Amino acid sequence: MSSLTAPVAWEGTSSDPADQQFGDIVECADLESADGYDVALVGEPYDGAVISRPGAAEGPAAIRDALAAVKTHHYDAGPVGSGRSIADLGDVDISEEAQSVAEAQDLIRETTESIHALDALPVFLGGDNSLTVPNVAPLLEHGSVGVLNVDAHLDVREVRDDPTSGTPYRQLYEMGLGAYACVGARHFETSTVYHDYVRENNGTVVTAEEVADDLVAPVDRALSSLDSVDHLYCSVDIDVLDATYCGCSAPTPGGLLPRELFRLVRLVAADERLAGFEVVECAPPLDAEGRTVDAAARTVAHFLAGWSA
């Protein structure tokens, strides 16, 4: 049975007492006390489903370390944490029980069901993209669900021998996912058959070029395509960023700039139906000078700024 390991205490890194950082405001909690918080951070150190290069299992710890040093002030939203409390519940403990990706997804779901039952909004720190399945699946039991997938790829491959980081949305569609939109998709990164599958299932695809041309309009189009659902879940695969900023299993050129991603998640965070958020595929061993880890941490910060505003 999956469970949570105890979180490590957060600390700010600045010697200036005027510098409030996320390390100063995030508190440690467990499932029993988490209902008293507005946001619950949960790490998922697993990359057993990665198709190419592993490393995302080290993402949660690295993102926490980077986020602890980020200052809380946002020029439009004000200080994150003002009126909103943030807890860290630790990491999902997968240990050695899972012998396959499918088993890992089932084990993780046992914990994410408890997390979704909390009043706190869950923010999952991955880990690879296969984790989207156990992170979203519990919501399907409580009404219609739509996913906004911020990603270079559609991730609707067929499951053959075992799920992979490229199969999560095919799996969720087969579980009853109500709506799907991908924002940031890259030309020449997806097979025609998978684009056709998304279209046949009434999904929406917004390319990285469209985001670069006019960010607000394509994000509005993606959110409008999810209007029919009760609950909204936002997944950010960090490979949506251009390869220059992207230490992950599959970096490619032509992606979003970090500032485009930051604004995008702030826009999505304002949706009142939001029931969960994740950042996946950040792989510190593949990172250059911590650029991707820093971008992932700030993606979480910008999301929280948009959600708090």
pLDDT above 90 (res 135): yes
Rounded Cα gap, residues 238 and 56, in angstroms: 10
Q: Is 241:258 a contact under the CB 8 Å cutoff?
A: yes
Q: What is the pLDDT of residues 229-248, one digit of tens each?
A: 999 999 999 999 998 877 77
Task: Give me the pLDDT at residue 309, please.
Answer: 63
Task: Give me the pLDDT at residue 2, please.
Answer: 60
Q: Which domains does the chain have, with CATH numbers?
A: 3-308 (3.40.800.10)
Q: What is the pLDDT of residues 53-70, one digit of tens each?
A: 889 999 999 999 999 999
Please give the structure tokens belonging to residue 248.
Answer: 């992950």
- Burial class of 90 by CB neighbour count within 10 A (0 to 12, 13 to 18, 19+): buried
Kindly report the number of other CB atoms within 10 A of residue 201's CB atom.
14
Mean pLDDT to the nearest integer, 258-280? 97
Task: Give me the pLDDT at residue 288, please.
Answer: 81
Please give the structure tokens belonging to residue 246.
Answer: 């992207």
The phi-psi region of residue 38 (left if phi > 0; otherwise alpha if psi is between -120 and 50; otherwise beta) is alpha
Which of the four pLDDT bands, split at 50, 70 and 90, describes residue 148?
Answer: very high
Mean pLDDT to the nearest integer, 102-130? 96
Q: Is 150:69 a contact under the CB 8 Å cutoff?
A: no
